[in-house]
Amino acid sequence: MTIWVLGDQLALEYGPLAGADPTSDRVLMIEATDFARRYPYHSQKLTLVFAAMRHFRDRLRREGFEVEYRQTATFGDALEAHFDAHPGDRLACMEPPSHGAGDRLETLVESHGGTLERREHEGFLCSPAGFDAWAGPDADSFRHESFYRWMRRETGYLMDGNEPVGGEWNFDEDNRAFPRPEYAFSDPCRFEPDELTRATLEWVEATFETWGDSEPFEWPVTRTQALDARDHFIIERLPRFGPYQDAMVERSWAGEHALLSPALNLGLLHPRELLEPAVEAYKAGDAPLESVEGFLRQILGWREFVRHVYRRSMPELATANALEADRELPSLYWDGETKMHCLKTAVGRVQKRGYGHHIERLMLLSNFALLYGVEPQALNRWFHLAYVDAYHWVTTPNVIGMGVFASDALSTKPYASSANYVDRMSDYCADCAYDPDQTVGEQACPFNALYWDFLERNQERLGDNHRMGLVYYHLENKDEAEREAIRERVGTIREGIRQESL
Ligand code: FAD
Ligand code: SF4
């Protein structure tokens, strides 16, 4: 038996390798380069995946496994070489979470005369059967809050019998504070590239056409580093994670966020390995309930939820476009060239590290694309190539569903907002060329006019959404002259985007 370790299944603690025997089981890993040429991926994303795979190969060899590490253009090339060496071999891997990938791999293996045993992906907490039993077989839209409560009950995390610890399921209200200017954010955990990582980084730069800065490269690429990053987060940052989860500040690119999604999505950490110490920290009195619950909600709730919504909603989800948005992605997403201070900062951070925290992704980069009317697949592609933690299964529901409401599979209303939100949750507006309090005129923040224009353009689709009653009431209260002025301002904004002068 050969265990085929895919690039985002780098786990010895669970999955097929956990029960493997180094004396009889062989390991196959394939470093295929063609996929990395499809888009100008962020340099750090490619370095991260390839460096983590190479370190994992070395770890397996140290553990006594025979590892065939094949570096080829395509999976097909590598499998051809593998089956030439081992005709009719039996392969096993975990089911890849990205839609259709398992079928494609199986067909490819069979076309080379082998067999592929696809085992359930053990890197998540909720199985497909569990989710399907919870959701029912026919549902095509899903609600996070009820899934999350069900998961809390299923796992018993932060539960007191059948009720949530502290009497509340949700401390969202306590998680929307804005830090005072003197608040000092804790330092994120960083890792200097070792020799192998540095060699990989240089190879990536020399081999591929990439986007974004190759350095500073500070992401964990080994299991040991991932565990260190986890411990650092639980001790230093989790106690402060809750209140400032939604804040966007000039002086800190990471806030108190975990920065663990890259390691989690590669398989270097299992979600259980984050949740258990977090709950222990609460029990020991080292982290407050609102922080630990907030963190649980992200991992036990959102991460599991989007994975299954994606599984249930594909392939339609990837091409959904419920609001019929058809504009090109503005060039500012590539070069950060804009006078809009918030977008310039957010894009600059992605260029520098392939990372931005959740609110920057949702309320700046997606929100702007939503209001402007960017074609959802173009935005999804950008997120997919630009972020170090991006994989189709996780980016697609977040962008297409949550980000631009091109599908109602996972939320009931768009996350659309004007400058008011950014002004409240960030310190960007103070240093911006635009005024967050104005809607029309040259100095007016583009988010404002675009917001009202978005509502007006989509009135037929969204006007009877009961969660949007209040905003449509405000729109109704605008007289025709005001609406016309807004349309005019939107025209100038669109022209500014075309001229790259916004
Ligand atoms: P923290 O804020 O500290 O949260 C802890 C963990 O919770 C994260 O590590 C992550 O694993 C998990 N999590 C929280 N929310 C989500 C979510 N909505 N979906 C999945 N996991 C979640 N996450 C990705 O892992 N890959 C992506 O490509 C990705 N694209 C996104 C695109 C958009 C438009 C939006 C709105 C969100 C996206 N997210 C994505 C979710 C979330 O923004 C990131 O997981 C988070 O910012 C990662 O940083 P962190 O580890 O510091 O997270
Ligand atoms: Fe962003 Fe508008 Fe605030 Fe400027 S004024 S930082 S563009 S929200």
Between the CA atoms of 193, 35, 380 and 344, what dihedral angle is there, to the nearest 10 degrees?
40
pLDDT exceeds 90 at position 242: no
- Which pLDDT score, from 0 to 100, does residue 369 have? 98
Residue ID of nearest Cα to ligand 2 atom 3: 429
Centroid of ligand 1 to alpha carbon of 242 (angstroms): 15
- Mutate which of 175, 257, 261, 365 for ligand 1? The one with the most ligand atoms within 8 Å of its CB, which is 261
Q: Which ligand is nearest to the CA of 432?
A: 2
Q: Does residue 259 have its Cβ closer than 6 Å to ligand 1?
A: yes
- Which pLDDT score, from 0 to 100, does residue 176 have? 80
Q: Which atom of ligand 2 is closest in space to residue 341's alpha carbon?
A: 6
Centroid of ligand 2 to alpha carbon of 445 (angstroms): 6
Q: Domains in the chain, start-ordered, CATH in brackets?
A: 2-119 (3.40.50.620), 128-313 (1.25.40.80), 332-498 (1.10.579.10)
Q: Which ligand is nearest to the CA of 431?
A: 2
- Which pLDDT score, from 0 to 100, does residue 140 have? 87
Ligand 2: residues with CB < 6 A are 340-342, 419, 422-423, 428-429, 432, 434, 436, 445, 447
Distance separating alpha carbons of residues 461 and 459, to the nearest angstrom = 5
- Which pLDDT score, from 0 to 100, does residue 174 have? 76
When pLDDT is averaged across residues 464-488 and rounded to a whole number, the result is 95
Centroid of ligand 1 to alpha carbon of 255 (angstroms): 14
When pLDDT is averaged across residues 220-227 and rounded to a whole number, the result is 98
Mean pLDDT estimate for the chain: 96
Q: Which atom of ligand 1 is closest in space to residue 254's alpha carbon?
A: 52
Residue ID of nearest Cα to ligand 2 atom 6: 429
DSSP state of 95: P
Nearby residues of 64 by Cβ (< 8 Å), 6 or more positions away? 22, 23
Q: Is the pLDDT higher at 193 or at 244?
A: 193
pLDDT exceeds 80 at position 346: yes
- Which pLDDT score, from 0 to 100, does residue 175 have? 75
Q: Looking at this predicted complex, what is its ipTM?
A: 0.99
When pLDDT is averaged across residues 437-465 and rounded to a whole number, the result is 97
- Mutate which of 42, 176, 389, 402 for ligand 1? The one with the most ligand atoms within 8 Å of its CB, which is 389
- Mutate which of 238, 311, 358, 395 for ligand 1? The one with the most ligand atoms within 8 Å of its CB, which is 358
Centroid of ligand 1 to alpha carbon of 299 (angstroms): 9
Q: Does residue 385 have its Cβ closer than 6 Å to ligand 1?
A: no
Percent share of the chain, pLDDT over 90: 95
* Kind plus residue range of the DSSP H or E element containing 419: helix 419-425
Reported as a pLDDT band with limits 50, 70 and 90, residue 124 is very high
Task: List, for residues 404-415, the tens digit of each pLDDT value.
Answer: 999 999 999 999
Task: List, for residues 125-163, the tens digit of each pLDDT value.
Answer: 999 999 999 999 888 889 999 999 999 999 999 999 999
Is there a contact between 193 and 227 (Cβ–Cβ < 8 Å)?
Answer: no
When pLDDT is averaged across residues 294-308 and rounded to a whole number, the result is 97
CB crowding 278-288: b at 16 or more within 10 Å, else e? bbebbeeeebb
Task: List, for residues 361-376, the tens digit of each pLDDT value.
Answer: 999 999 999 999 999 9
Distance separating alpha carbons of residues 418 and 398, to the nearest angstrom = 20
Burial grade of 129 (CB within 10 A; 0-12, 13-18, 19 or more) = exposed
- Which pLDDT score, from 0 to 100, does residue 5 have? 98
List C-alpha distances in Å: 333 to 46, 174, 210, 346.
19, 32, 15, 9
Percent share of the chain, pLDDT over 70: 100
| Half-sphere exposure at residue 116, Cβ-oriented, CA atoms within 13 angstroms | 24
Centroid of ligand 2 to alpha carbon of 122 (angstroms): 43
pLDDT exceeds 80 at position 481: yes
Q: Which ligand is nearest to the CA of 363?
A: 1
Residue ID of nearest Cα to ligand 1 atom 19: 303
When pLDDT is averaged across residues 161-184 and rounded to a whole number, the result is 89
pLDDT exceeds 90 at position 432: yes
Distance separating alpha carbons of residues 261 and 306, to the nearest angstrom = 14
Helix, strand, coil shares of the chain, percent, nearest 5, are 55, 10, 40
- Which pLDDT score, from 0 to 100, does residue 171 have? 86
- Mutate which of 269, 298, 392 for ligand 1? The one with the most ligand atoms within 8 Å of its CB, which is 298
- Which pLDDT score, from 0 to 100, does residue 173 have? 77
Q: Which atom of ligand 1 is closest in space to residue 379's alpha carbon?
A: 34
Residue ID of nearest Cα to ligand 1 atom 34: 399
